[in-house]
Amino acid sequence: MKYLYYPGCSARSTGKPYEESMLSVAEVLEIPIEELEDWNCCGATTYMAINELKAFALCARNFALAERQVEAEEEINLVAPCAACYLGLNKAQHYLGEFPEIRAKICEGLHAAGLESTGRVRVRHPLDVLVNDIGLEKIASAVTKPLEGFRVACYYGCQIIRPYAEFDDQHRPTTMDRLMESLGAEVIDWPIKTRCCGGSLTGTVQECGLRLSAMLLNEAKNRGCNVIATACPLCQFNLECYQSQMKRQFGYEFKMPVAFFTQLIGVAFGIPKRKLGLQRLFLPLPDVSKVAVCPLPSPSETKASVGGSNVPS
């Protein structure tokens, strides 16, 4: 099986530690993965909202490049760690497959650039690849420092399983939960793991965006979580970077570290911190040697979340 890596723009900026940790983990697991040459922007959510056809064209160019890079007639797994890239590329591939008229237009454009996309590319998320291709058994066998004392809330966000439930249940996914358990972490039951973090609303209608993030953090904290694992650069950014502002706005202090799930795998594999980009996190991972081991609060014991009427449901 052939894996090509599609970084997308965030893995080279705010999401740098995602890339660093993913590639380090791939190295330990001996997953052959090379970067897609000359890749371009996926169109992100913004382009998709303004002109779908052009957004599909941007994605399709990446598919065509992948097909050029891997000549053999085999299925290509294009691994996109960023949730928005993953969704955008996936959507484009679905539309190209389902709507011949869109496919015809896009192919015409690609042809003008001397490119061709036959639909040989399958868009994959690293979470899917790690758990379903590599397997939890192999991952567990590479663990050298089990994540004891880590109480992880697995945050899937809204994009990697909706609307395309390619590898897990759309509403109650478990892939990351099982992965974290295989690393020795304790996974908390967190029923809101697919709720929106606010997305780009934190930058546009901040009042609204921050509330959404705050609800997630508060419920995670109430349930005894000491680190949130994410699979999306924007989720990671929203949940981690605005915590002081949430304190000013809602009066809640979370101090909740938010890491990429690949960083936590790296920690369990004993990969050096800098190779995982841990130094780039604003809030350090919990020092588990200092965590008092006490039973998790049961939901009936937990307090009600962020001041009810203050936060929309």
Q: Using CB under 8 A as the criterion, which residues of the chain lie in contact with other proteins when the complex forms?
A: 169-172, 191-192, 215, 219, 299-300, 302-306, 308, 311-313
CB of 112 or CB of 304, closer to other proteins = 304
Question: How far is C-alpha 28 from the chain's CA centre?
Answer: 20
Helix (H/G/I), strand (E/B), else coil: 20: helix
Residue whose tokens read 């996974």 = 187
Q: At what angle do helices 83-98 and 100-112 cross, to 10 degrees?
A: 110
Q: Which is nearer to other proteins, 40 or 174 (CB)?
A: 174
Say whether 258 sits in a helix, a strand or coil: strand
Number of Cβ within 10 Å of residue 205's Cβ equals 11
Written as six digits, the tokens of 106 are 């896009």
* Between 212 and 285, CB nearer to other proteins: 212
Residue partners of 205: CB distance under 8 A and separation at least 6: none
Closest to other proteins by CB, 187 or 215: 215
Q: Which is nearer to other proteins, 249 or 302 (CB)?
A: 302
Q: Which three-class secondary structure string do you get for 4-53?
A: EECCCCHHHCCCHHHHHHHHHHHHHCCCCEEECCCCCCCCHHHHHHHCHH
CB of 134 to other proteins, least distance (A): 25
- CB of 256 or CB of 265, closer to other proteins: 256
Q: Which two tokens stand for residue 131?
A: 């758990």
Q: How far is the CB of 174 from other proteins (least distance, A)?
A: 9
| CB-CB contact of 125 with 231 (8 Å) | yes
**From the CB of 216, what's the least distance to other proteins, in Å?**
10
Minimal distance in Å, beta carbon 177 to other proteins? 12
Tell me the closest approach of the beta carbon of residue 273 to other proteins, in angstroms.
Answer: 34
Minimum distance, C-beta of residue 96 to other proteins, in the bound complex (Å): 22
Paired with 260 in beta bridges are 230
Q: Say how far apart CA 313 and CA 93 lie, in whole Å.
A: 34
Q: Which is nearer to other proteins, 262 or 305 (CB)?
A: 305
Nearest to 261 by CA among 197, 199, 161, 178: 178
Residue number with CB closer to other proteins (143 or 311): 311
Nearer to other proteins, 77 or 90 (CB): 90
Tokens representing residue 139 in the block: 């991952």
d(CA 16, CA 26): 16
Closest listed residue to residue 21, CA positions, set 220, 276, 285: 276
CA separation for the pair 67, 252 (Å, rounded): 50
Least distance from other proteins to the Cβ atom of residue 130, Å? 22
| Shortest reach from residue 301's CB to other proteins, in Å | 8
In the chain, what is the greatest distance between 2 CA atoms, to the nearest angstrom? 64
Least Å from the CB of residue 49 to other proteins: 23
